[in-house]
Amino acid sequence: MRESTIEMPLQLAVHTLSGITGALARDGYAIVPNFLDNTTCAALAAEGQRQIDAGLLKMAGVGQGEEHSLRREIRSDHILWLDDGNSAPLQRQYLALLEAYRQEVNRQLFIGLFEFEGHLALYPPGSFYKRHLDRFRDDDRRTVTAILYLNDDWKEENGGQLRFYPNGEKSSEYIDVLPEAGTFVTFLSHNYWHEVMPGNRERMSLTGWFKRR
């Protein structure tokens, strides 16, 4: 991940990273409302909207390498991978905050996270992502998932929840997380099945994974 100084206002979130990592170590996941303030999330959403308007997002697929394919019956979101050429200024600051999180996770959990890969994700109205794990069948490097939602004034009636299964693939128990601006969700990628439910308005997030070597 790039080296960068965390500037205002994102540095205000740094003090919460130790507690989030503690929950990750204890429970395997953490759901954190108000991780970032509404003003910052609105600015991140505006950056994302400019990238959307510029036509930079592409239909997301499943699998990787030769197995990568577009499977609209499984997922129907659009993404833009965030790297040195694609990231906007405040997105780069958010990635620097995630770098601080990576270091804190390594300090507390000793799991050797090496790098982060992530994207801007847009779910148009009616789109979804069926129940899945965040690891590929032939690649176990993705270790910790991190999601930040950017959707102002999201209501229950808008749908689009992250449906999170804390007790395994076959369990009927789940937690529904509204994709409300500022909510941060993180979990051990290989342990937790989850899905994105259809919504009735556009849904935007910054989603990615910390990887081991």
Of 33, 44, 5, 35, residue with least CA distance to 17:
35
| Residue 4 in domain | no
14 versus 163: the higher-pLDDT residue is: 163
Percentage of the chain beyond pLDDT 90 is: 78
Of 173, 114, 116, residue with least CA distance to 148:
116
| Residue 1 in domain | no
Spell out the residues 6+ positions from residue 16 whose beta carbon is closer than 8 angstroms to its own.
Answer: 32, 35
Read off the pLDDT of each residue in 16-42 and give the average, rounded to a whole number.
Answer: 95
Half-sphere exposure of 96 (CA within 13 A, CB side): 16
Contact by Cβ (8 Å): 6, 96: yes
* Number of residues in the chain: 213
Domain range holding 84? Answer: 10-211
Read off the pLDDT of each residue in 73-100 and give the average, rounded to a whole number.
Answer: 92
Ranges 3-17, 22-36, 47-61, 113-127: which has the least confidence: 3-17
Per-residue confidence (pLDDT) for residue 64, from 0 to 100:
66
The number of domains in the chain is: 1
Rounded CA separation 153/144 (Å): 28
- Mean pLDDT, the chain, whole residue set: 91
| Residue 33 in domain | yes
Rounded CA separation 120/105 (Å): 23
Per-residue confidence (pLDDT) for residue 172, from 0 to 100:
87
Give residue 84's pLDDT band: very low, low, confident or very high (50, 70, 90): confident
| Residue 5 in domain | no
Per-residue confidence (pLDDT) for residue 9, from 0 to 100:
58
> Global pTM?
0.91
CA-to-CA separations, 187 to 31, 160, 184, 208, in angstroms, rounded: 9, 19, 10, 11
- Report whether pLDDT(6) > 80: no
Which uninterrupted H or E stretch holds 162? strand 162-165
Spell out the residues 6+ positions from residue 113 whose beta carbon is closer than 8 angstroms to its own.
Answer: 102, 105, 106, 143, 144, 210, 211, 212
Task: Give the model confidence (pLDDT) of 154-188 as tens digits.
Answer: 999 999 999 999 998 778 899 999 999 999 999 99
- Report whether pLDDT(12) > 90: no
Percentage of the chain beyond pLDDT 70 is: 92
Per-residue confidence (pLDDT) for residue 7, from 0 to 100:
65
CATH number of the domain where residue 132 is located: 2.60.120.620
Give residue 62's pLDDT band: very low, low, confident or very high (50, 70, 90): confident
